[in-house]
Structure 1
């Protein structure tokens, strides 16, 4: 199994830097690993399970993961084709052209390129019509050769996963006794401009987790912890008795706040996440 290298997708809330710590709290033996808020797939790829169901309600995102699994070279071609336009028209112009294409008809190929070039991985949409509005970031885009190497590594590490376009409830309801679920949903304190946050219901998630726990499924759930470097604790309606343990994972400075505050260093904006465990 090749070692994990870098992010495949730049994505707000990406857990790649903290995936090893999160995995240290997961059971060491389990049947099938479920990750129903797949996003960047960081925990899935770091864990590289032998049996997995990875899902997301966002269709263009799952299109990327399915294609990576089924035809990795096609995904490499998606990126290379769009990257080639940079030399012809410039980075920002190429980005805006692909963004216009995506907004005219959302698709995984355009989303892949946009996620690599957008500001801070903040994939945001207008609530009214789903229009992606994130500007191009200041960083230099990854070369097609480097992306190709990375895509092949990620494909190898996620090759045993089934990628499903599904709502979290239908995905979690598939899990049975002995399985494990890692959940990384939209955070309650997030701005509604962020992908997936507009219609997410935390109480509904807690109901689904309770049913899974009753079936013998072990669930780990990442949620808001503290902000302002620990000075502000996020209050959440966590049901009594649902979780057996609560630990905190230090995740560094808030990329969303950096985006909102135009790249300031944000020394007072360190964030920690709750990790809630049903076992």
Structure 2
């Protein structure tokens, strides 16, 4: 039986960026900044335990909500995504964290003025007129099930308001302060994944968490995503001596379905399966019905 530890993670953290206790158990970092489908923050410690013991710059070219980045808190990172409004959120966090707090508070204040549903629909309508990070941030926190979905033909954000109340500005501000510290080593870029991965050099580490072809077609950019193109970029990285770790479809329906992915022979040296619990997307689709038969495991593929 494989026994996994958090030792790799500890060696990559700096005391000034993300202080951790030297002895005893480490409390997992679970505070989320954004809600996002496919968020890996709950599984980040386990994923990180598979990372090489030493590496140089950390790359995350499908950033999303940055679950692994936030837990890892690397000294140096290139964090990128092709979704411009999403990267606006991260760049504002990095460069103008007080502005990020203000943007959220302004939209939250609409609840008292308009009511939760009308306030949400007002923000969503503004986002759909002019996609931007400030509106997307609030929608992520307030939408139904945390599932930010987009129409294929025009990118229209269509998720209704959630049944929950979004967190208060005071609570959000604390999250901003924590994430600002943990991501200080990162440079946030609006880049296609292939362009980002071209920057990785020998000894760097790339963690890829792309849209899943079996389950995430409603997400931004998932409809045009090419897994084969990603495999080509991974092969080029491997040839340069870059470490690559890929999260991809594994099993669904509590293990009854193994997702069929055409993985190139010889590209990866090993694989593992990571239990990610019950499907967040399926929870949204089933509208609160029982999810006992919808346990999901992701496949983790490594080039080393």
TM-score range, shorter chain: over 0.9
Partner residue, 2:227: 202
Say which structure, 1 or 2, has more relative contact order (CA 8 Å, 6+ apart). Answer: 1
The alpha-carbon deviation at position 119 of structure 1 amounts to: 1.4
**1:125–1:184 Cα change, 3 Å:** same
Spell out, residue by residue over 1:142-195, the C-alpha distance to the aligned partner (whole angstroms, 9 max, x if none): 010000000110010001100000000000010010000000000010242222
Paired with 1:27 and 1:139, the residues of 2 have a C-alpha distance of 40
Aligned twin of 2:299: 274
Match of 1:81 in 2: 106
Q: Tell me how far 1:2 sits from its aligned partner.
A: 5.9
Cα distance in 2, alignment partners of residues 232 and 96 from structure 1:
37
Consecutive aligned runs of 4 or more in structure 1 exceeding 6 Å deviation: none
Gaps of 5+ in 2: 1-17, 21-28
Instruction: State the distance in 1 between where 2:247 and 2:301 align.
Output: 6
Matched, 1:61 2:86: yes
Which of 148, 157, 171 aligns to 1:132? It is 157
1:11-46 Cα offsets, whole Å, 9 max, x none, are: 011101001100010112111000000000010010
Q: Say if 1:33 and 1:51, in contact at 8 Å, map to a contact too.
A: yes
**1:189-234: CA deviations, max 9, x gaps?**
0242222211000011001100000000000000000000000000
The 5 Å alignment of 1:172-211 reads 172-211=197-236
Q: 2:179 aligns with which of 154, 157, 160?
A: 154
1:265 aligns with one of 290, 298, 301: 290
**Does residue 224 of the first structure (1) align with residue 249 of the second (2)?**
yes
Give the counterpart of 1:111 among 136, 139, 143. 136
Alignment size in residue pairs:
279
Say what the alpha-carbon RMSD is for the aligned residues: 1.0
Distance 1:9 1:2, change over 3 A: farther
For the residues of structure 1 that align with 2:74 and 2:263, how far apart are their CA atoms? 29
CA distance in 2, matches of 1:268, 1:211: 39
Once the two structures are TM-superposed, the CA of residue 89 in structure 1 deviates from its matched residue by 1.2
1:76-117 deviations in Å (ceiling 9; x for gaps): 001001000101111111110000000000000000000001
What TM-score comes out, normalization by structure 2 length?
Answer: 0.90
Match of 2:95 among 70, 76, 79: 70
8 A Cα contact 1:12 1:120, kept in partner: no
230-239 or 185-194, larger mean C-alpha shift: 185-194
- Does structure 1 conserve the Cα–Cα contact (< 8 Å) formed by 2:155 and 2:220? no
Q: Secondary structure of the residue that 2:265 maps to in structure 1?
A: coil
> What is the 5 A alignment of 1:6-17?
6-17=31-42
Alignment partners' CA distance in 1, 2:225 and 2:35: 22
- What is the distance in 2 between the residues matched to 1:196 and 1:46? 25
